[in-house]
Chain A
Amino acid sequence: MADDTSLCSEENQKITTEYYPSVVERYFTSGYQVNLPKCWKKGTDEPSEANFNDVRILRHSNKICIVTIAPSHPLIKQAETYKVTGISLKVTEKLDRSQNQVHGKRKRGAHWLNPSSPLCIISCEDGSRHTVYCGIRGSLIEINPRLLNDPSLLQKSYETNGYIAIVMPKLIEGNQIMDSLLNEEEYQSYLRSCSKQTINFGIAADIPS
């Protein structure tokens, strides 16, 4: 080692074996939107058929939200089966998310998103295509541009560098955004109830004809 000095005692004192929260844990609260695009509403009967097209919403204390795929998503749960090969931002005939351009502090010109708005389409080695939906209402600030060059990020680090998009909710809706989502506990119990059912990934993966 070139530099092998040690920290001063004051600093050594601070460094204990205590738990250090990660960046996501420090600044964000997370919520889940499951069974997209027809999302399952909290408090109603559990869906008869879960499609596991789930997203996780990380909400920063400044109300900006990061959309990632959820751990229950087939791309994560069955990463072996679905190997990501590419990502397309052209979500419908007319709608291309790569056209999204925001300007200024207020982020003018952003695409407006609803919970069921598609963000991107992920294609896998086996030919299956998975649409990722937004899960919340807000303006699209950006689709993670690094996913286009390196789609493998999506499976390698889906919670951090492999995020899908950044969405800014309306200021007045900012506080309520988490209310419509499942919290960690609700999400886990939802997953337990699903595991008893027959899992049909066919809905999530739109296999081209």
Chain B
Amino acid sequence: MQFCFEMDQETWKKAFATFCPRCVVRLFCHDWKVLKMSEKDIVNFLAENNDEQIETSFLEIEQRRSLQVTELQNGNGDEMNATTDFLCISCLGILMTPFLEDCSQKVAETVANDNYTFNRFQCFYFLPHQLFVSDKVSQDTAKQLFGANAVENEAHDVKEIFKILMEPLVTAKLKVPRSIDANFEIAINISHREAEKKVLPVMKSKSPRSFTHGKGKHPAKRLKPLDGVSIAQVKHAISKISVEELREMSSSLSQPCKVEAIQLNHSSVYVGGRYNKYSRTLPQTPWIIDGKRKLENSVQEFLGGPIKDAFRADGYNFSSSGREDVDVRMLGTGRPYLIELINPRFPSVPQAKILEIEKKINEQTSDISSSGLQIVSKTDCKRLKEGEEEKTKSYYALCRFIHPPRQTQLEKLGQLKDLTDVEIKQTTPVRVLHRRPLAVRIRTIHKISLRGFDDNKQFFKLELSTQAGTYIKEFVHSDFGRTSPSLRDFVDADVDIIELDVQSVDVVWPPGFK
């Protein structure tokens, strides 16, 4: 590794006037040991390896700079930052100590403000596109200054160095380690507004073809970065435009990069349980028709609200193993459900606290209840949906003969218990035809048994056990003959359904419950 450069003092002075010390070494060599040093140590290091004079040159430049700053401060304070503050044309300031300090401080403040609990973190960095331009320009400048041989052909990426420099600073402030599989994510967005205004439009006019949209299916819907162009587009444009032109367009830049935004996100936490519904006027999910709410409450909101509050999440997604109609009760052991908590501030709620939440859910209404509530792992979530189509479900249905039954029809009703595993063909019911494709689905009725009559033998109660996905109401009244055979065919009479209760949904959920 060479740390000795054959350059005269004038060249060193020029180098320090153009680049920050870290970028000077970045363009010369790959050694991480040097790159990680503080700016002062880098200058010392160069002086030791080359000429003592280097340090003097650097200090001289520094001094001249601060002198200018003071002069300007006396004149017009506002312009201080705008014009004379030194700007490394290579890293646009982001590799310089004050910026690194400032950025890590802002991260610490944002995290403290939002009050997350976490024990590991990971960082994502979004850096301005102008860095690609300045990198190409500064490598060329370096070659002119120091001679083509002295400069490394492939200098380390500014982003790579920035990440490595930031990590110890952030870790020290947050007091927890960084880990690539951490659930807590910090996204640091650094922008260079001046370049977006001054350089980008020029690039667009010089190489307009670089910025056209791809031929994707929905180019307009693709996620776009802040300034509306992608890295690939900028890189393409850079390859099409000459270095001189790039230098020309970025020469007027005077401001350093800025920390635009720091976004925090904790990955989702999943909570599972089973719910019962005792009301015939409560929908499972908010019932909205033409933008208007039909009913005030829903199972989803009764469950999701308190859970979301306890985890201090931004929002939640509710899913369950099947669903029941608004006028159908969910009895027995309940229906399995899952709630995904989005961006929880307090992700590791202890089980004792979760039982308290469940108690709160059950106290707010007599229309629903929840049991078995617990945190479930993401891999277990698949089990909920797997059971949806194959598993057995059982129901109680209160039915009626439309006309007073004849003896033969009553006998047929009694014989229903002899049927086992009858296959029926269900054409998509009219009731759901607006949201499901038209198809004939084969479903199995495992068992039907008569559970009782009223005094006139006009009303009767059936217990049915069927394959999941069977439309029970349609099985009873035949849905204009679209479900066949139906109960009407088996009993040879016009029958209708009055009330339906789901008795059991046979899925083991939450994992290990009961």
Contacts and interface: CB of A to CB of B under 8 A. Distances in A.
Given A6-B455, A62-B433, A1 B481 contact: no
Interface of A is mostly: loop
Contacts of A168: 433-434
Which of B398, B410, B434, B450 counts the most A-chain CB atoms under 10 A from its CB? B434
Interface string A152-184: 010000001101001010000001000000000
Contact of B430 (A2, A6, A66): A66
A7 B478 contact: no
Nearest to B402: A22
A8 B417 CA distance: 20
Contacts of B455: 6, 12
User: Which of under 10, 10 to 19, 20 to 34, or 35 or more describes the interface residues of A?
Assistant: 35 or more
Nearest to A102: B438
B452 A6 contact: yes
B461 A11 contact: yes
Nearest to B497: A23
A99 to B, nearest CB: 15
A23 B477 contact: yes
Contacts of A12: 454-455
Contacts, number: 91
Interface string B418-462: 000000000000111111111000000000011111110001110
Interface in A107-150: 107, 141-142, 144, 146
A60 interface: yes
A118 to B, nearest CB: 21
Interface of B is mostly: mixed
B436 A20 contact: no
Interface residues of B, number: 36
B415 interface: yes
A22 B496 contact: yes
Given A5-B452, A8-B452, A23-B477, A105 B436 contact: yes
A27 B431 contact: yes
Given A5-B451, A62-B434, A103-B437, A20 B480 contact: no
Given A66-B430, A166-B433, A160 B480 contact: yes
B481 A2 contact: no
A163 B430 CA distance: 12
A60 B431 contact: yes
Given A6-B454, A104-B437, A107-B438, A60 B496 contact: no
B430 A7 contact: no
B308 interface: no
B470 to A, nearest CB: 18
Interface of B: 290, 398, 400, 402, 410-411, 414-415, 417, 430-438, 449-455, 459-461, 477-481, 496, 498-499
26 contacts: A1-B414, A2-B415, A3-B417, A3-B449, A5-B453, A6-B454, A7-B453, A11-B452, A11-B454, A11-B459, A11-B461, A12-B454, A14-B498, A15-B459, A20-B400, A20-B496, A23-B477, A23-B479, A23-B496, A62-B432, A62-B434, A105-B435, A105-B436, A161-B480, A166-B433, A168-B434
